[in-house]
Amino acid sequence: MSLGTIVMTGAAGQVGTSLRESLYEDAGRLVLIDRAPMPAGRPGEELRQLEVTGPEDLIPVVEGADAIVHLAGVPDEAPLADLLTGNVLGTQHVLEAARRTGVRRVVLASSNRLTGCYPTAETVSPEMPPRPDGLYGVTKVAVEALGRLYVDKFGLEVVCLRIGSFEAEPTEARHLATWLSPRDCAGFVRAALTVETDFLVAYAVSANTQRFWELSDELGYVPQDDAETRAAEITGTFAIGQRPQGGEFAAPGYTLEHGRLPAV
């Protein structure tokens, strides 16, 4: 089944580059957006290098699309003003462009960092209250809230994927719980584009034996990969107990350094 015309923002990033390959055969047309340059397109691909400063920048690009996969944004801890502009305002621009052009389905890249202050001993579901591990996670709370608003008020269909540690292979102890393989990432996004729902939040994480996030039965994708198969190659430990699931991301110094907040 063709996915139709899919618009993907942040297409030059790590996740976007992988999804570009994975979705190419399934999409009737891929419209790839990033402010950074991208490799030349193939038949059925349309590349748009642009800076999105408002919904008006996106409206001519998303007109007639079947869905938008929104990956663009600031990918880690940073000054709050930058995060608000890149993640919160950027998401609102995408949702507003979808509303004005009649694009019904929007897939938003949320993050596991939205719940990174829960202890590793606790299994977390999307229904539990947010406990972000930094300013980046705070903006992802806002991203999900914007999605909910545009569903309730304007009738869009929104799926928020709380993306795990996306890597080609797991490389550190925390990844034994949080790894998201490229194959599973593509599977979660395909499911998010096709599931019958108006609003859904789901963790996108591989079938790791040690994972501490619940998978969504409603989304319907069963991940295939398990970081445990590479456990012997990974050094260090990530103990299950009261340590935050975010690991070093949840440490005060991480936000003080990367968020450029004054130490006291």
Domain count, the chain: 1
Query: Taking the model in full, what pTM does it have?
Result: 0.97
pLDDT, tens only, 163-185: 999 999 999 999 999 999 999 99
- Residue 213 in contact with residue 205, Cβ under 8 Å? yes
Domain interval for residue 197: 5-258
Catalytic residue among 24, 118, 136, 150: 136
| Mean pLDDT of the region 223-242 | 91
Q: Look at residue 29 and tell me if it is in a domain.
A: yes
The residues facing 34 across adjacent strands are 49
Q: What is the pLDDT of residue 238?
A: 84
Q: What is the pLDDT of residue 48?
A: 96
pLDDT over threshold 90, residue 73: yes
Q: What is the pLDDT of residue 235?
A: 86
Active site residue 136: yes
Number of neighbouring beta carbons within 10 Å of residue 37: 9
Q: Give the chain's end-to-end CA distance (angstroms, integer).
A: 57
By C-alpha distance, which of 30, 25, 27, 40 is closest to 7? 30
Q: What is the pLDDT of residue 102?
A: 98
pLDDT over threshold 90, residue 77: yes
The residues facing 202 across adjacent strands are 161
SS3 per-residue string spanning 48-97: EECCCCCHHHHHHHHCCCCEEEECCCCCCCCCHHHHHHHHHHHHHHHHHH
Q: Is 9 helix (H, G, I), strand (E, B) or coil?
A: strand
Beta-strand pair 157-163/29-34: unpaired
pLDDT band at 259 (very low <50, low <70, confident <90, very high): confident
Q: Look at residue 263 and tell me if it is in a domain.
A: no
| Mean pLDDT of the region 224-234 | 95
Q: Look at residue 229 and tell me if it is in a domain.
A: yes
Q: Is 106 helix (H, G, I), strand (E, B) or coil?
A: strand
**In CATH, what number is assigned to the domain containing residue 119?**
3.40.50.720
- Annotate 147-171 with DSSP letters as a single string: HHHHHHHH--EEEEEEE-EE-SS--
| Average pLDDT of the chain to the nearest whole number | 96
| Mean pLDDT of the region 20-37 | 95
pLDDT band at 149 (very low <50, low <70, confident <90, very high): very high
Q: Look at residue 264 and tell me if it is in a domain.
A: no
pLDDT over threshold 70, residue 264: no
pLDDT over threshold 70, residue 56: yes
pLDDT over threshold 70, residue 118: yes
